[in-house]
Amino acid sequence: MLEIPHPKVFCFGNEEKGEYFDVVKFFDDKWQFSYIENGSNKLAHSIEEAIMKNEWLK
C-alpha cells in the first residue's frame, strides 16, 4: 500500500494493481471517504467501507 501525504488529502494506492483513491478533509475538518461504483464516486462511512466496496475489488 502506497500513501502519498498531503495536509488535507490522503491518496492510497496498490501499485501492483494500479488502484488509487483519495480521502479528503474539508473546511469543517471532517473527512470524506469515497469509492468508485459504476464509474462514479460514492460516499462511504469509513475507509474500510471505501476499500471493500470499491469496484476494483470486484
pLDDT tens-digit series, residues 10-34: 677 777 777 666 677 666 777 777 7
Regarding pTM above 0.95, the answer is no
Residues 6+ apart with CB under 8 A from 20: 11, 12, 13, 14
**Residue 8 φ/ψ, nearest 5 degrees:** -125, 5
> Three-state SS across the chain?
CEEECCCCEEEEEECCCCEEEEEEECCCCCEEEEEEECCEEEEECCHHHHHHHCHHHC
Which residue type sits at 31? Answer: W
pLDDT tens-digit series, residues 30-51: 777 777 788 788 888 887 887 7
